[in-house]
Structure 1
Amino acid sequence: MGKGCITMSHQEIDRVALLQSLLSKQLRQREVAERLGLSVRQVKRLVARYRAEGAAGLVSRQRGRQPNNAIPEATRAAVMDLVRRRYADFGPTLAREKLVEQHGVRLSVETLRQWMVAEALWVPKGRKRAAIHQRRPRRPCFGELIQIDGSPHDWFEDRGPRCTLLVFIDDATSRLMALHFVPAESTHAYLETLKGYLSTYGRPVALYSDKHSVFRVNRPDQEGTPTQFTRALQTLDIQAIHANTPQAKGRVERANQTLQDRLVKELRLRGISDSDTANAFLPEFIADYNARFATPPQQPQDAHRPLLHSTEDLALNLSVQQTRKLSKNLTFQFKNREYQLLGYGKGYRLRGALVTVCEAADGTVTLLHQGQPLAYRLLAEGEPPIPLEDEKSLHLRVEQAQQEQAQRSIWKPAPDHPWRRYAQPTTPIPTASGPT
């Protein structure tokens, strides 16, 4: 740079041109103030500085100097050391929240993001292409539409087994309504989660789900046949709606992505590694999540309706129900078990009658006839039937089989066991021409 040269920004060069126009009477002070976005008083100060020092007087006095609000380097080093040790895989937003909550360190998300990028702890994500799916407007009232889904994930990382998180989220507000850790998506799991939801909020207008076999019979020859979950909704007067694509229920899908990031890290920070402890922690997490991300509804009305069933009737309705026909001896078969009614003597009134078998999540069986419970006893018990699995419960079944096989002792047949006798060579039968 030559002697006498000054460095100016484009904004400062523009100021020089406007001030020259002002001094030559081509513009007035108010016009210059409007173009520069300054007050008339500030323009007068710039004119005085320009007359005294020339163009150099318009150069910022702070250039080359450290800002007064700059964070000390020692503070930056201490924060980054803490992030590197405890929050290395956290995003800048979540890491900043934990710095405030756990350590009292307050700084902006953008500052922390820039520091993490410089330390190679965060890779900026490229802007995604615009989605081609048309965004559906939210329902106006809280409780009108509840989106439900299951999220299989390694929630406990390497500290515990994989499991599934059932998620209920309100469409109008994006509020988490219910979370429940279960081994896998199943009818009993969804019914138990729905029971807790109904006890807390009442009956919503509709539940919005995918086409999983829990919610819909997907065989063409059984189109319209209700599943156990759908039957329970019909009894409660709750509409079941099925989405054609994951994007159609995008709010619960996006919530799953957020939970797979934030909830996993919260469980890690608290050392939680099993479903029971995690379920006990979930109400605290739900309250914090809703305070951060929930939005107010467009209309203040709550669309939830009160429950019309007693606690006992609700438990029976939210069980898996099947129909059986009584024999002449008042017995019936259910899951390779034989049951017989008690206290009915040799009467014939219930012979051949149809009864409803209600199986709760814990395996308890209740027998109903025309809405009235019947007493029974277990006559015989066989091996339980092998359940049918789908792609979401297959991994759980394989892991259970591995655990059972690892615990099973190695069994060695006795010397006189039939298996060994079959393996021994037989003595040849002598023929007429052979030796005797």
Structure 2
Amino acid sequence: METANDFLPGFMERYNAKFAKVPRRSDNLHRTLNMAPDQLRDILCYRDERYVGNQLAFSYDRQRIILAENDITRGLPGKYVDSFEFADGRLEFRWKGLSLPYSTFDKDQRVTHAAITDNKHLSAVLEHIKAQQDKAPPKKHRAGKQRTRYEPTGRRNDGWNSKQAVAAKDKRAASQGSDI
């Protein structure tokens, strides 16, 4: 540890001498933050949209999110809600800026040894379930973002609108025009 601490100052001087650049202007051009910290927290998080089913439920990160039924959530089936996953691990789901109360159901629940010993009446059944779970490894998480909406690209290539079909149509029109 002492050798590394002795090496570091000299290394930093050599590194900065080799790669440092002089700024074009010497004055500080940073601007002050002109927004509320809450807005910045909402910007610096992972956001997505989720489709709410008829049972006021949807999936998020291998969990089933079940919205609490109230005046706001009764009208949400068939619509999209915004999901916010913050850096500290908190989840929040909003509809038009209003936070929605919810409960979660973990799809990857597994039987533990403690559950078998605590529940004497079901121990034989729980031991059988645990043996089955140990045989099958847990499912892997899907990679990537869930696509929630169709985004048209404006391109179609189903034959009638392809470049070759358009060129052939233009050629026929030109030849018909010259015959007249």
The structure that has the greater radius of gyration is 1
Q: Which has the higher helix share?
A: 1
TM-score by length of 1: 0.21
